[in-house]
Structure 1
Amino acid sequence: MKRLLAAFAGVCAAVLCALAALVAAPPAVAATLTEVTNFGSNPGNLRMHLYVPNNVQQNPAIVLAMHTCGGTGPGFYSSTEFASLADRYGFIVIYPSASKKMNCFDNWSEASKVRGGQTDPVSLMSMVTYVEQQYHGDPNRVYATGSSSGAMMTNAMLALYPEVFKAGAAFMGVPFTCFPNEAAYNPAGNSSPCVGKTAQQWGDAARNANPGYRGPWPRMQLWHGTSDTVVNYAELEEEIKQWTNVHGLSQTPTSTDSPQSGWNRRRYADASGTVQVEAYTIQGAGHSLPAGGMAAVAIQFFGLTGSGPSQSPSPSAAVSPSASPSVSPSASPSVSPSASPSNPQQGASCRITYRANTWNNGFTADVTITNTGTAPVNGWTVTWTWPGNQQIVGAWNAGITQSGAQVTARNVSYNAAVSAGGSTSFGFQGAYSGSNATPAGFALNGAACTTA
């Protein structure tokens, strides 16, 4: 009996100790919003707040979440559900704060309508690059979303940097290049400023920001309330015109439905069935989006919930998600071409035009190959050597491999042939530290090219 009592006492003591340990254990520390002050080039004079969940993925997706006029990044953090969704799915959220015109993002200046313009979009790109480098953010999973002024900037970022952003969700926005100048930027005083252009005109406005871009365009989700008196509901149709035209789609939806009461959804799918554009009409809603549950729909559209589109568009050549801009130059991120050149012609006469758009520690570059010879080139390989520590992290219109400072770009299936006197182009996104100097020379199929 004594042995039984002693054993029982020992069990009780062990249970009590375990309970005491549980009581004494400190609670898990919740992730918090943190301000980043030295994120890179910041011509827009923006502030950056960052939310990194405790369960952040090893190579996390990045969501750029932008507030309304008069708002702030911390305000958008506390008033929307993107942070709680980040806790659930492990992505990182960037919350920028605007500084111009009552804290509106610059959607009116000429600089805001061109790549590399010295205003808000460059500052926002610096934030994205910072997260890619410091947190190994996945450059193949970068997304933008925003409300009102932030929605307008969402349209702008996807048009200006289509190779960077894979999708966007714009709540109560207007098309890219809507406002001709700052005086026109007064949505409340002119609630339908962008009605009247054709789909072709709106599409051209986006394409003209990247005349050499031939890669896939980001998918777009659009939201608007029918009773919005600040940015009129009519602007939703203009946005639909712009993005369906950019994707080469009809303005007639491929499907319509009502996911829940008061929500009417139109979807615009491509020939493969992938929804490239979808538009939500919220019956009776004013200038108050996103409301409850809408952020989750946007994150699902991005493909971050594990139940996104059956086919997620990606560049014809892109690094694997495990690659990051912070890998050392000795690493060799591989961008596999969909077709290698067959019988590349040696000794072809050529001219290479190289144009880089640089921000702090990140850049994109457009490369144009001109065949200055008298015979066509059937299959091409362009090679060069970086003068610094540049590292390619994504590409379009070419398959690119890098070993140390040596880079090789090969044609893909649809641009292998370059006629005599003709040209083709490709591009890529990269990262660097120090200076982003231009390569000293390029070669086409082993023969040195002139540069322009």
Structure 2
Amino acid sequence: MLRSRHLKSRLLAALLAIGAALGANLAAAPQAGAASLTQVTNFGNNPTGLQMYVHVPNRVKAHPSVLLALHGCQGSGPYLYASTDFGALADRYGFVVIYPSTNPGGSCWDVSSDQALRRGGGSDPVGLMSMVTYVEQHYNGNRDAVYVTGESSGGMMTNVMLADYPDVFKAGAAFMGVPYHCFYTGTTRGWNGPCAGGQVSMTPQQWGDLVRRADPGYTGPRPRVQLWHGTTDPILNHRDLGEETKQWTNVLGVGQNPSSTDIPAANWNRSRYTDRSGKTQVESYSIAGAGHELPVKGTQMAAYAIHFMGLDGTSPTRAS
């Protein structure tokens, strides 16, 4: 959910009201047991004053995987916890979920400044990385199994974190996002209308080069990427899904044409881009008729995301 005007502002105001109601009543949050959301303070370098919340299942694994889950504009960590299925899935499979909140509350993530768009540059990504490190150190989190997901502005930040810290994250799932660097304005939490409207188009090489510049000199393996977008999204145009796909297929060195396409659920159009070994590197979901509302609670969207990342205990090496 992003800052906008007219139709956008009315939609976001409604979502804010819903988010406030849910945030005030976490009994409505999806959970399989008594585990709840806990706020953590003093978690490390935090230049923008972000808030950190963590969900640790009662039956957490001894060396758990870690999922960083990022809300959209007008949202918060507690809102995302209450309005999505990631907490319930964590309870089922024993991984830890970090639910950060922006500062000021209800604002968008900074995906538009020079500081945010490079490794260790400052702004929100630095605070988010501190949260990941804190969970690794204080909850015995598995540093070889760290993942990121987010919706709208959080989907944008998912792409930013994957670009800025490719050695930290093994995979990510971006719901209703835009390509890394597409929202650049040079200002903190700026609004980029052409990008939001799907009017920014580059070649795969150009998009890929932007990602590679986020962490200059990095030559190691890159995180796998899953992308989701609704065809009737009024806030972030569906064309951004195609640009994201061009970017990450280039970064991950797979072809621009999908290796396979299918319809795993009604109105879900899935394309997979695999490497020579058959491992899916990029996976995109175009949801026919869906607006700015992903992932939809009570559907299998969150479950498909954690399956892609391997958080459900399955091997993500092959398409399944």
| TM-score normalised by length of structure 2 | 0.85
Q: Which runs of 5+ in 1 are unaligned?
A: 1-27, 313-452
* 1:295 alignment partner, one of 299, 302, 314: 302
* 1:306 alignment partner, one of 289, 300, 313: 313
Q: Is contact 1:152-1:170 (8 Å) kept?
A: yes
Letter of the 1:86 counterpart: A
Where is the helix percentage greater, Structure 1 or Structure 2?
A: 2
> Based on CA coordinates, which of the two structures has the bigger radius of gyration?
1
Letter of the 2:317 counterpart: S
User: 111-120 or 87-96: which moved more?
Assistant: 111-120
Corresponding residue number in structure 1 for 2:252: 247
* 2:191 alignment partner, one of 169, 173, 186: 186
Corresponding residue number in structure 2 for 1:57: 61
Q: Greater RCO between the two (CA within 8 Å, min separation 6)? A: 2
Q: Structure 2: how far apart are the matches of 1:30 and 1:175?
A: 38
TM-superposed CA distance for 1:102, in Å, is: 4.7
TM-superposed CA distance for 1:118, in Å, is: 1.6
2:286 equivalent to 1:281: yes
Corresponding residue number in structure 1 for 2:87: 83
Q: Is contact 1:191-1:229 (8 Å) kept?
A: no
Q: Which runs of 5+ in 2 are unaligned?
A: 1-31
Aligned in 2, Cα 1:113/1:183: closer, same or farther, shift over 3 Å? closer
Cα deviation 1:21-66 (Å, max 9, x = unaligned): xxxxxxx970110000111110121100000000100000000000
Cα deviation 1:387-406 (Å, max 9, x = unaligned): xxxxxxxxxxxxxxxxxxxx
SS where residue 284 of structure 2 aligns?
Answer: strand
TM-superposed CA distance for 1:124, in Å, is: 0.3
Aligned in 2, Cα 1:93/1:102: closer, same or farther, shift over 3 Å? closer
TM-superposed CA distance for 1:183, in Å, is: 8.6
2:228 equivalent to 1:223: yes
Corresponding residue number in structure 2 for 1:160: 164
2:47 equivalent to 1:43: yes
SS where residue 116 of structure 2 aligns?
Answer: helix
SS where residue 113 of structure 1 aligns?
Answer: coil
TM-superposed CA distance for 1:188, in Å, is: 7.0
TM-superposed CA distance for 1:212, in Å, is: 1.1
Give the fraction of aligned pairs with identical amino acids, expressed as a percent.
57
* 1:172 alignment partner, one of 167, 173, 176: 176
SS where residue 121 of structure 1 aligns?
Answer: helix
Q: Is contact 1:187-1:230 (8 Å) kept?
A: no
Corresponding residue number in structure 2 for 1:195: 200
Q: Structure 2: how far apart are the matches of 1:77 and 1:99?
A: 17
Letter of the 2:76 counterpart: T
Over 4 Å off, 4+ runs: 187-190
SS where residue 156 of structure 2 aligns?
Answer: helix
1:111-126 matches, within 5 Å, as 111-126=115-130
* 1:237 alignment partner, one of 235, 242, 255: 242
Alpha-carbon RMSD: 1.9
Cα deviation 1:87-112 (Å, max 9, x = unaligned): 00000000000125951110011100
Q: Is contact 2:108-2:189 (8 Å) kept?
A: no
Cα deviation 1:160-215 (Å, max 9, x = unaligned): 00000000000000011112314994367863256221110100000111221111
